[in-house]
């Protein structure tokens, strides 16, 4: 009897442990929300927990960019408009550019820093520049969200820093990404910038699909402890553009790989759509009324050996995935691995593959050809930066391509008639015409010595004026006058 009870007890304990394992696995599976949508049609190609509420983190900046570009398109602001970094922007938590208060920057450069570096301070700069304050800008964000049908989204800040009221869903982010692509095709380049160059600093896009996954062309990453690793990614092949949204991935590499798997699934399903169940359009998905999951313990708990961050090094995770034989994404995973910093050749190859970073700067917009790299760079020469004299022409003006413009040619000075030259002082004669060969001495002159003739640098006609009449002198041609006409 005892043995039977013991056996039953062990069986119950094992069953309980199994249930707990299954429950944890289900919880981990439920802690990811994904969706795949066709940009052109809006059809949902795949979805898992797509309508579950979620903390957006920095993918909030897609809405920040949408509101800013809407203001640009409506003429309420320009890309060249100068915005000022406020004390409120300086106070934002990293990741940020870190400019001091009072720094000015254009809307264009702030957008580039926002989307590549995911700079929280630039989000506030744009919010205050477009809406006047963070509160007013948040109202604009929520108004646009309602107009787009983002029924599960609510925003209280422009950068996605932790806030209980900042909520979205994979469904809503797919709707927003599709609207941004279709409404602002002229600004599509903002979504797939490979990197930015500020002075000597080069910052690469956190979206690791860009330059690595074939056809990848946007959009934005995000991470806070409560949300996990989020990613909205787009890719285009053969004219077909897809949107993949991944929320709650366990790592930066995990979200990139999951997005790549979704995109591959969408591109590979061409011609086989009739085999898969129809999920309708993204707007037609029914929202779930629930609280967003909080993944803080999973992402940032004490069990983690290293704190999870947006710019974490994924080399170890990628290496472990690569070691799995038969991986369908081995080529893509290999591209995700960061090269050895000591291997300059590998670094150059990576830069060539990822694309040239875009130059950004503080201050007003630069004209084409003006130096943008380093605001502390010394001028190449004093002439190139000389201040023009008051009322006079600029000595070293530059053309639009940065090449110094040619200086104006000096005016040609025509010599006076010989009669006038006879009465000129030696210094005036020297300035008026180039010095000709010295004339021979004339015995019939008024006693002018050879030295005086050389000092005055007078032409032959002048040397003979003392003994001949002005009429005779005028009949001889003036070589200096002839040269002046040729010039």
Whole-number Cα distances in Å, 75 to 130, 131, 324: 11, 14, 53
pLDDT at position 273, please?
Answer: 57
CATH superfamily of the 28-359 domain = DD-peptidase/beta-lactamase superfamily (3.40.710.10)
Flag whether pLDDT at 375 surpasses 70: no
Catalytic position from the list 33, 58, 153, 251? 58
- Kindly state the helix (H) or strand (E) to which residue 296 belongs, with its residue range: helix 296-300
Catalytic position from the list 61, 81, 96, 117? 61
61 is catalytic: yes
Flag whether pLDDT at 92 surpasses 70: yes
pLDDT at position 317, please?
Answer: 53
Mean pLDDT of 342-362: 68
pLDDT at position 272, please?
Answer: 57
How far apart CA 451 and CA 449 sit, in angstroms, is: 5
Q: Which of 100, 104, 122, 102 is nearest to 113 (CA)?
A: 122
What is the distance in angstroms between the CA of the first residue and the CA of the last residue of the chain? 127
CA angle centred on 135, ends 157 and 226, rounded to 5°: 20
Flag whether pLDDT at 391 surpasses 70: no
Percentage of the residues of the chain whose pLDDT score is greater than 70? 59
pLDDT at position 308, please?
Answer: 75
Flag whether pLDDT at 122 surpasses 80: yes
381 is catalytic: no
Residues with Cβ within 8 Å of 373's Cβ and at least 6 positions away in sequence, in order, are 197, 199, 200, 359, 361
Higher confidence at residue 399 or residue 82? 82
Catalytic position from the list 96, 112, 117, 118? 118
The pLDDT confidence band at residue 38, using thresholds 50, 70 and 90, is very high
The pLDDT confidence band at residue 62, using thresholds 50, 70 and 90, is very high
CA dihedral 98, 102, 103, 104 (to 10 degrees): 130
pLDDT at position 342, please?
Answer: 55
pLDDT tens digits, one per residue of 275-296: 567 889 999 999 999 999 999 9
Hey, how many other C-beta atoms are within 10 angstroms of the C-beta on 217? Answer: 18
118 is catalytic: yes
Mean pLDDT of 457-468: 44
The pLDDT confidence band at residue 470, using thresholds 50, 70 and 90, is very low
| Region of poorest pLDDT, from 207-221, 356-370, 402-416 | 402-416
């Amino acid at each position: 009897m005892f043995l039977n009870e013991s056996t039953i007890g062990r069986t119950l304990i094992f069953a309980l442990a199994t249930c707990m394992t299954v429950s944890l696995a289900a919880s981990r599976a439920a802690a990811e929300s994904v969706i795949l949508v066709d940009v052109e049609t809006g059809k949902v190609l795949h979805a898992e927990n797509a309508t579950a509420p979620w903390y957006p983190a920095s993918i909030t900046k897609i809405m920040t960019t949408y509101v800013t570009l809407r203001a640009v398109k409506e003429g309420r602001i320009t890309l060249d408009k100068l915005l000022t970094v406020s004390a409120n922007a300086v106070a934002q938590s990293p990741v940020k550019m870190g400019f001091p208060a009072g720094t000015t920057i254009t809307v264009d450069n702030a957008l580039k820093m926002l989307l590549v570096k995911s700079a929280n301070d630039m989000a506030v700069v744009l919010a205050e520049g477009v809406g006047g304050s963070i509160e007013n800008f948040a109202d604009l964000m929520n108004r646009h969200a309602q107009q787009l049908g983002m029924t599960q989204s609510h925003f209280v800040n422009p950068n996605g820093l932790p806030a209980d009221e900042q909520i979205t869903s994979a469904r809503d982010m797919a709707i927003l990404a599709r609207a941004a692509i279709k409404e602002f095709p002229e600004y599509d380049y903002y979504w797939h910038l490979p990197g930015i160059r500020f002075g000597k600093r080069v910052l690469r896009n956190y979206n690791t699909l860009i330059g690595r996954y074939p056809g990848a062309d946007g959009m934005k990453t995000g991470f806070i402890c409560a949300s996990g690793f989020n990613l909205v990614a787009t890719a285009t092949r053969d004219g077909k553009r897809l949107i993949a949204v991944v929320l709650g991935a366990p790592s930066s590499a995990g979200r990139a790989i999951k997005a790549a798997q979704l995109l591959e699934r969408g591109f590979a399903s061409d011609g086989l759509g009739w085999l898969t169940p129809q999920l309708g359009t993204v707007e037609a998905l029914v929202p779930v009324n629930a609280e967003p999951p909080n993944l803080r313990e999973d992402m940032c708990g004490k069990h983690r050996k290293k704190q999870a961050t947006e710019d974490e090094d994924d080399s170890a995770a990628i290496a472990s995935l690569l070691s799995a034989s038969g991986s369908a994404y081995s080529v893509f995973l290999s591209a995700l691995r960061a090269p050895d910093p000591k291997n300059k050749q590998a670094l150059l190859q990576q830069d060539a593959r990822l694309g040239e970073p875009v130059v950004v700067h503080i201050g007003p917009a630069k004209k084409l050809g003006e130096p943008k790299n380093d605001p502390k760079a010394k001028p190449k020469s004093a002439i190139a930066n000389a201040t023009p004299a008051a009322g006079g022409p600029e000595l070293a003006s530059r053309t639009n391509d940065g090449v110094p413009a040619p200086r104006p040619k000096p005016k040609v000075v025509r010599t006076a008639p010989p009669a006038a030259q006879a009465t000129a002082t030696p210094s005036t004669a020297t300035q008026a015409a180039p010095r000709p060969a010295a004339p021979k001495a004339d015995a019939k002159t008024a006693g002018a010595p050879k030295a005086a003739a050389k000092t005055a640098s007078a032409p032959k006609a002048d040397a003979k004026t003392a003994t001949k009449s002005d009429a005779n002198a005028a009949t001889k041609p003036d070589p200096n006058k002839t040269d002046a006409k040729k010039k």
